[in-house]
Homo-oligomer: A and B are copies of this chain.
C-alpha cells in the first residue's frame, strides 16, 4: 500500500471525476487510443514479465495482448457515434391543454468512481486495462484498480502505459489509480461512500464475498461480478451419432484450452446414455494425448488437485502428482439422476475437468435444465431437425444463461457489439449486464433527464441541431 489512506485516494478519484466525467467523447476516444500506443511501446517487456508471472506460454500472451488492444480500439471507436448514450428528446408543447408540456431530454452520464478487481486468468484482457477498466474509462468514469497479486509487475507495466496516455492527453492522473491492496484494504475500498460501482472478474468465493460486503454499505451500489460457471454442453442423439469423432475432439480441446482456466470452460457435458461408451472412449483417447501444463499459480494447481480428490474415483486422469504446478485433464462420468442429486457435481472446478452426464431420452433435458444453475454459456449440439422438434428446450435454456451456442465451443469469447458475457446468478451478480463487448459500457452509466433546460446549457448530444450527429430518439422515433 502507498503512504496515503484508502479514503484519501478515493477522494482523489472523485476529484478527478469532476473533470474526467465532463470530458467529451472525442477526448476519451483519443485517450484510449493513446493507451494502445503506450502499451505497444512496452509490448515486449509486458509479455516477458507476464510469461514469468503467469506461466502462460508467450504465444497465448501475445494473442491476449492483441485481444486487449482490439478491445480498447473497439471502445475508442464505437463511443464516437454516441449511440450508447441513448439520447432521447420529448419536445415540449406550450399550447397543450390543460397544462403546457415541458421539454424533456434524457441522456446517459457516467456514474462516478468505479473500483475494478482484475482476474488471474487473463493478466491483460481482464486485468489492469481489461474489459471492466476500459468500459468504465470509455463511459467517463474514473477507475480505482486493485492489482492482482498473481501478476503484480505485469499490472504495473500496464498501469505505466495508462498514466503516460493520461499525461499525453492532459487528463487528471488520478483518472486511473493503481493499488496493491491486502484483503482488509480492499474491503475498506469497496465500503467507501464515494465509490459508485464495482467491476469484478474471478472466483465465486471472492465475488460473492465482495457482493455481500457491499450490501452492508449505507448506500447500495451496483456490483458487476463475473464469477464463472460450468458452461454445460447438451448433445442430442442424432447429432452425436452424425459427428461423434468431431464433437469428442472439440470438447477435449475446449476443456483443455488454457489448462481449463477460462470462465467459459465447458466443465459439464450431457450425452445420450446409448452413446456413452463410444463417446467416453474417444474422449479418453483425445485427453491421453494432452501433456502436463503449468497452471497460473501453485495455489490454483493445489486447489485443482484437492477438488479432484473430492470427486472420488475418476473415469480419466487419476494419478497426477498433487504437489506439482502442472495439471492434466480429468473426467467423471455419471448418470443424470446421480448428477441431479449430488450438489458437488454441479460445482465449477477451475481447471481441465469435465463432468460427463448421461441421460436416457431427450425429454429428460427439460428436467435437467431445471436443475442447472445460472451459466455464462450453454451450448446445444443438435441437428437442425432436432432443434425444430425440441424448440421448447431453447426457451428453457435462455432462462439459465447469457449466451446460447448452437455450434462450436464456449471458450474463445468474441469481443464485439452483440456479445453477452454474463448470465443468471451464480454466473454473475447481475444477469442484466455483460462484462465483454460494447454493451459493457452501460454498466457504468446512469440516465439524467433535463427538463426545460436552456439550449446553451444542454450537453452537445441533446442540443437542437445535434452538432455531434449522435443517434437519438425524438418524439418516439429513432433519428439518425
Contact = CB atoms under 8 A, between A and B. Distances in A.
Interface of A: 18, 21-22, 78, 81, 83, 86, 88-90, 99, 101-102, 104-106, 109, 111-112, 211-212, 215, 219-222, 374, 384, 387-388, 391, 394-395, 398-399, 401-408, 412, 414, 416-420, 422, 424-426, 429-432, 434, 439, 445-454, 456-457, 471, 473, 475-476, 478, 480
Given A418-B449, A449-B420, A408 B102 contact: yes
Contacts of A215: 212, 215
A447 B476 contact: no
16 contacts: A18-B395, A88-B418, A90-B414, A102-B408, A105-B418, A106-B439, A215-B215, A219-B425, A222-B432, A403-B449, A408-B452, A417-B476, A418-B449, A420-B447, A422-B447, A478-B478
Contact of A406 (B412, B446, B454): B454
A476 B437 CA distance: 11
A218 to B, nearest CB: 8
Given A22-B395, A221-B425, A403-B451, 19 more contacts: A88-B417, A90-B417, A106-B417, A106-B439, A112-B399, A215-B215, A387-B456, A394-B457, A401-B448, A404-B448, A404-B450, A408-B452, A417-B473, A419-B449, A420-B448, A424-B446, A439-B447, A471-B478, A478-B480
Please list the 9 inter-chain residue pairs (A to B) with the smallest Cβ-Cβ separation, ordered nearest first. A420-B449, A407-B452, A106-B418, A90-B416, A215-B215, A90-B418, A405-B451, A403-B449, A104-B418
A197 to B, nearest CB: 9
A83 B471 CA distance: 13
A404 B220 contact: no
A384 B454 CA distance: 7
A89 B416 CA distance: 9
Contacts of A83: 473, 478
A195 B424 CA distance: 12
A222 B433 CA distance: 12
Contact of A425 (B81, B220, B398): B220
Contacts of A374: 219
B220 A104 contact: no
A429 B223 CA distance: 13
A1 to B, nearest CB: 27
Contacts of A430: 220, 222
Contacts of A434: 447
A473 B22 CA distance: 27
A403 B448 contact: yes
**Residue among A394, A439, A449, A480 with most chain B CB within 10 A:** A449
A406 B456 CA distance: 12
A90 B430 CA distance: 24
Contacts of A102: 405, 407-408, 414
Contacts of A456: 384, 387-388
Contacts of A78: 476
A424 B197 CA distance: 12
A21 B476 contact: no
Contacts of A398: 109, 448
A432 B420 contact: no
Nearest to A448: B398
A373 B404 CA distance: 42
Contacts of A426: 219
Given A222-B430, A434-B447, A448-B398, A454 B387 contact: yes
A466 B477 CA distance: 18
A211 B220 contact: yes
Contacts of A416: 90, 104
